[in-house]
Amino acid sequence: MPKSYERSKPPLGWPRETDSLCPDCVIEVRDAIVAGTRNIEELLIGGTGEIPARIVEEDGRILIRKECDKHGAFEDVLSIDPKLSQVLEGRF
Residue 46: the pLDDT is 78
- Rounded CA-CA distance 53/49 in Å is 12
Range of the domain at 39: 10-90
Would residue 76 count as lying in a domain? yes
Would residue 3 count as lying in a domain? no
Would residue 17 count as lying in a domain? yes
**Cis before 15? omega within 30:** yes
Would residue 4 count as lying in a domain? no
User: Which pTM value belongs to this model?
Assistant: 0.80
- Average confidence (pLDDT) over 76-83: 97
Would residue 48 count as lying in a domain? yes
Task: Give the model confidence (pLDDT) of 5-52 as tens digits.
Answer: 777 777 788 999 999 999 999 999 999 999 999 999 988 887 889 999
pLDDT tops 80 at residue 3: no
Would residue 1 count as lying in a domain? no
The number of domains in the chain is 1
Q: Which pairs from 47-53 meet CB under 8 Å and 24+ separation?
A: 49/21, 49/22, 49/25, 50/19, 50/20, 50/21, 50/22, 51/19, 51/20, 51/21, 51/22, 51/25, 52/17, 52/18, 52/19, 52/20, 53/17, 53/18, 53/19, 53/20
Would residue 14 count as lying in a domain? yes
Would residue 5 count as lying in a domain? no
Answer yes or no: are the C-beta atoms of 60 and 86 closer than 8 Å. no
Task: Give the model confidence (pLDDT) of 48-64 as tens digits.
Answer: 899 999 999 999 999 99
